[in-house]
Structures are given as C-alpha cells and as structure tokens.
Amino acid sequence: MKITKKQEDLIYGRQPILEALKHQKKFDKIMLQRGATGDILNDIKQLAGDLNIFIQQVPIEKLNRITRKNHQGVIGFAALVDYYQIEDVLPTIYDKGEVPLLLLLDGITDVRNFGAIARTAACAKAHAIILPQKGSAQVNGEAMRTSAGGLTKIDVIKTDSLLDIIKYLQLNGIQTIGLDLRGNKNLSQSNIDLSIPTAIVMGSEDQGISDEVLKKLDHIVTLPMPGEQLSYNVSVATGMILYEVMKQRNN
C-alpha cells in the first residue's frame, strides 16, 4: 500500500485501495473522483458498501490538493480507531452495571475541536461518541494527537442518520439533551436529572445543532454566560456540561 509520509492514514491508488478492502481494512472514508469509471472502481464501491464505508464523490482538484502522487482518482483515509454500532454498545454498558452517557456531535468538522472533545469525554467516562457519516471531523492523526489518547479509550460510532440514533436512544429510555444558544433553559437552573441515562448533543460553533435534530430532543439547554455575549468554544462547552454530569453522578 502506498502511504504518504506526512499523512500516515492516507492510502491512494485503485489497486492498493481494492486490496486493502479485500483484506477488510477499515477506512474512515474513501474519496472517489467524480465521473471516474472502471471495473476496479466498481469493485471498490461494492466492497466499500459491504463494509459500510462512506464514499464521497469529489472533483479531481480536491484529490490533487490532498496528494500530488498518482492517486488514479481514488484516495482512502484509513481508520485509526474501530467503529461500533449503537445496538452493540448500549447493551454492553448495561451489562457492566453502568448508566449510559453518550455524546452526539452534529456538524463538528474541526479535528482539533473533535480531538479535544474526545479527550474530555474520556476523562468524564462517557461511553461513546456518535458522529454522522457526512459533515463530521475526520478521525485522523491530528484528531488522535489532540485527544491525547482519548479516542482509544472511548467507543466511536458512525451513523447515516443522527435522527435515527436519537429515536433509538429515546425508545430505549435515554434522555436526549441539546446544548444550544436557542435553548429555553439554563443548565444550572433547569433541574434536569443527569444521573439517569443521558445523551448530550453538541452542534457546530457557527450553526449550532441543526434544526431537524433540535426539534427531536427532549431538552434544549444553554450554559450560564455572564460575560460578553459571544459563545464558548464547543470543546469548552462540552467540558462544562460533562462536569455537571459528573457532579450529579458523584464521579
């Protein structure tokens, strides 16, 4: 396999990608040149689909920006962590006699913020971070380094639909709480019981939680912010609400 020196998780070229998939190599995602054709590419698409690997169609200019090597219209980002299914993670939490604490990230694309969130989540003993396949930070080397090992200590779940995950959690008795500036409750005054099974949703810094996700949540809260009306960095805000969870759970 061809791997760049600067980006150890990058694999490129049609045959190297195909061989990796045949050996069930896990990928974070595969970028495919828009409009590219060929039998090998069809095989790559088939195998990637079988392994539930996200394929993104992109213009050749984007591939060329990632590497100047002969990528042949396909680049794969090797997964640096294992990905899990919520249906497998949740029963395991209960089998351990623990109260679920999950973190859903909606539209957080900055890898450093993502890594910092993972680090804090691991310290707070959150059980899993849940990401949408599209529009999320890549779990790459920079995210791993920023997490300071946190991403190796917490389950990571990727999903095609956060809405489906939220519905599944609610059906299984887990309250869903969004932290967003549009919330009508201040966390410190909300009297929300965080000692019960809980999933916390964090949105992007510029857009917050998406409207379709926001309206499905059980609670929407804000953080106390007596200073200038800007906003907390999303990783800082995550730490604040996780600290409140730890206080209530006496961790």
Residue ranges of domains in the chain: 10-78, 83-249
Identical fold, 10-78 and 83-249: no
| Residue 72 backbone dihedrals phi, psi, to 5 degrees | 60, 30
Measured distance CA(32)–CA(59) in Å, rounded: 8
Output DSSP code: residue 90: H
* Confidence band for 6, pLDDT divided at 50, 70 and 90: very low
Of the two residues 104 and 26, the one the predictor is more confident about is: 104
Find the mean pLDDT for residues 202-218.
93
Structural contact between residues 10 and 3, judged by C-beta atoms closer than 8 angstroms? yes
pTM, 2 dp: 0.84
What does the pLDDT look like over 31-52, one tens digit per residue?
Answer: 999 999 999 999 999 999 998 8
Fold of 83-249: Alpha/beta knot (3.40.1280)
What does the pLDDT look like over 150-206, one tens digit per residue?
Answer: 999 999 999 999 999 999 999 999 999 999 988 888 888 788 999 999 999 999 988
- According to CATH, the superfamily of the domain at 10-78 is Ribosomal protein L30/S12 (3.30.1330.30)
**Helix 234-249 vs helix 111-123: crossing angle, to nearest 10:** 10
What does the pLDDT look like over 225-249, one tens digit per residue?
Answer: 776 666 789 999 999 999 999 999 9
Tell whether the model's pLDDT for residue 118 goes beyond 70.
yes
Measured distance CA(72)–CA(125) in Å, rounded: 43
Structural contact between residues 86 and 168, judged by C-beta atoms closer than 8 angstroms? yes
* Residues 123-159 as b or e (16 or more Cβ within 10 Å = b): bbebbbbbbbbeebbbbbebbbebbeebbeebbbbbb
C-beta atoms surrounding 10 within 10 Å: 21
DSSP bridge partners of 156: 83, 129
For the chain, what percent of residues have pLDDT higher than 90?
A: 74
Please, what is the average pLDDT of the chain?
91
The pLDDT value recorded for residue 8 is: 55
